[in-house]
Amino acid sequence: MRLCHSIILFFLVTSTFGQHVQCLQQGMYEPESQEIFIQTREKTHLTVVIHVLHRTSIDSISDEQILSQIDVLNEDFNQLNDNFDGTPAVFKEVAASVDVQFCLADKDPDGNPTTGITRTKTNIDDIGLTEAYYQTNLGGIDAWDPSRYINIWVADLGNSSISGSGTFPDQADPPGKDGILMSFKFFGREGVAEEFYPHDLGRICVHEMGHYFGLPHTFGTIGNGCNDDDGFNDTPLQDDPSFACPDFPAADICTQNNGVMFMNFMDYTDDACMTMFTAEQKNRIHQTLNGPRSSLKDNLDNICIVQTETPPETKDWNFFPNPAKDEIILEDEQYTGEKMSIYDTQGQLVLWAKALQRKSQISLSALQAGIYYVHYKNSFKKLLIVE
């Protein structure tokens, strides 16, 4: 089992490398003791690989769009979503943070470094509607070991009514398609996804991830009336799916008074109206992670470094582009000549630089493609370097 415990992770770094760039001091790291602290919550870390299947430049979605979906998953599964406060008070009482952390893979099944994103050019129209998407020999791409990775295929599903699907534990047939299939139109909340309101906030993938962990719909099976349920006592009995964005309370023939829990991620409402999982849904997810999907917790090839609090004295700063290739620009309108450090996913310092002006150019040519963490003014931000 791999947990990120509620302790302070301590990294002691002593040596690394660097190089000189214009408008910046950047060079060899001088041996010294430097304490870097990252406050984390107790979470189960889960490794994700995104398989992008594309025919055109439109369905070849950007890394930014992919990263935005990872962000949405981590927000929604940890009750960090901006719209959670809009949850009706009566349902807030049973809402829960699932306490899992999704991370793009740092190593592929052979142990090679990876960004956690694969890209496959295909000539098959609407490949997501075929059985080819999960088979390399048919024009798609094989899953990475499903016992270690959560495989998410992002593909063209044409103009069908299908926006995504997730396999329930131990129900993938054949086992090679275990994972989640998503339309590129509804994946994430940036890029192409921004054009597909009202499902433009990445919550279809959150819904399908719920199925992947064994969660049924809140309304049970469509057409079974009030005799069918999702099996959880903290979700009200519900007849049919909820659509659009109902007003609270939304009563139906099964539940009056406070009505149905239409804002639950396992209903069918618009993305902006979904806000929560319940405590019993959380328990089911962790039962799955301690049962049929327990091997996902044993993938020690990946580590998530998660900052959960930004010190109040931190001043605004940023860098761009992200993802980056050869360089980034560090921007700090209130620069004070402080040192910026870049760490790999093992907490090892790999590059440092000292800004000499408000916008400083920083070369990344010495670093391999992968995920890194930029530390500056007492806070961390994630950096993705691509080839």
| DSSP 3-state of 1 | coil
Among the ranges given (15-29, 125-139, 282-296), the one the predictor scored with the smallest mean pLDDT? 15-29
DSSP 367: S
The model's confidence at residue 16, banded by pLDDT at 50, 70 and 90, is very low
* pLDDT greater than 60 at residue 33: no
DSSP track, 273-342: G--BEEHHHHHHHHHHHTTTTGGGGG-TT----------TTPPP-EEE-SSBSSEEEEE-TT--S-EEEE
Question: How many other β-carbons are positioned within 10 Å of the β-carbon of residue 118?
Answer: 18
Say if 50 falls within a structural domain: yes
From the list 183, 179, 138, the residue with the least C-alpha distance to 156 is 183
Contact indicator for 277, 210 with CB cutoff of 8 Å: yes
* pLDDT greater than 80 at residue 334: no
- Give the mean pLDDT of 328-350: 80
Q: Are residues 10 and 106 in the same domain?
A: no
CA-CA distance, 215 to 232, in Å (whole number)?
10
Q: How many distinct structural domains can be found in the chain?
A: 2
CA-CA distance, 214 to 264, in Å (whole number)?
15
Q: Give me the catalytic one of 208, 280, 331, 338.
A: 208
Instruction: Tell if the pTM clears 0.75, that is, is over it.
Output: no
* pLDDT greater than 50 at residue 299: yes
Q: Given this model, what pLDDT does residue 308 score?
A: 34
- Residue 366 CA, distance from chain mean position: 27
Q: Given this model, what pLDDT does residue 31 score?
A: 31
* pLDDT greater than 60 at residue 51: yes
* pLDDT greater than 90 at residue 312: no
Q: Are residues 132 and 9 in the same domain?
A: no
Say if 112 falls within a structural domain: yes
Q: Given this model, what pLDDT does residue 154 score?
A: 98
Say if 233 falls within a structural domain: no
Q: Is 208 a catalytic residue?
A: yes
**pLDDT for 185-231, tens place per residue?**
999 999 999 999 999 999 999 999 999 999 999 999 877 788 888 99
Q: Given this model, what pLDDT does residue 42 score?
A: 64
| DSSP 3-state of 241 | coil
CA-CA distance, 232 to 280, in Å (whole number)?
6
Q: Are residues 81 and 131 in the same domain?
A: yes
Q: Are residues 114 and 141 in the same domain?
A: yes
Computed over every residue of the chain, the mean pLDDT equals: 84
Range of the domain at 365: 3-39+310-385
Say if 265 falls within a structural domain: yes
Instruction: Tell me the percentage of the chain whose pLDDT exceeds 90.
Output: 59
Q: Which residue has the higher pLDDT, 1 or 160?
A: 160
The model's confidence at residue 290, banded by pLDDT at 50, 70 and 90, is very high
List CB contacts of 85: < 8 A, sequence separation 6 or more: none
Give whole-number Cα distances, 123 to 132, 138, 162, 387, in Å. Answer: 11, 10, 21, 24
From the list 229, 351, 256, 296, the residue with the least C-alpha distance to 43 is 296
* pLDDT greater than 90 at residue 386: no
Q: Are residues 58 and 185 in the same domain?
A: yes
Contact indicator for 182, 205 with CB cutoff of 8 Å: yes
Say if 130 falls within a structural domain: yes
DSSP track, 170-201: T--SSGGG-SEEEEGGGSSSSGGGGGSTTS-S
CATH number at residue 204: 3.40.390.10
The model's confidence at residue 10, banded by pLDDT at 50, 70 and 90, is very low
CA-CA distance, 211 to 50, in Å (whole number)?
18
The model's confidence at residue 179, banded by pLDDT at 50, 70 and 90, is very high
Q: Are residues 280 and 367 in the same domain?
A: no
- Give the mean pLDDT of 62-85: 94
CATH number at residue 359: 2.60.40
Contact indicator for 131, 138 with CB cutoff of 8 Å: yes
Q: Are residues 204 and 341 in the same domain?
A: no
**pLDDT for 251-261, tens place per residue?**
999 999 999 99
- Give the mean pLDDT of 270-276: 98
Among the ranges given (32-36, 79-83, 116-120, 366-370), the one the predictor scored with the smallest mean pLDDT? 32-36
Contact indicator for 192, 185 with CB cutoff of 8 Å: yes
Give the position of tokens 């049929």: 292
Dihedral sign, CA of 227, 228, 234, 235? negative
First to last CA, the chain: 32
Q: Are residues 175 and 323 in the same domain?
A: no
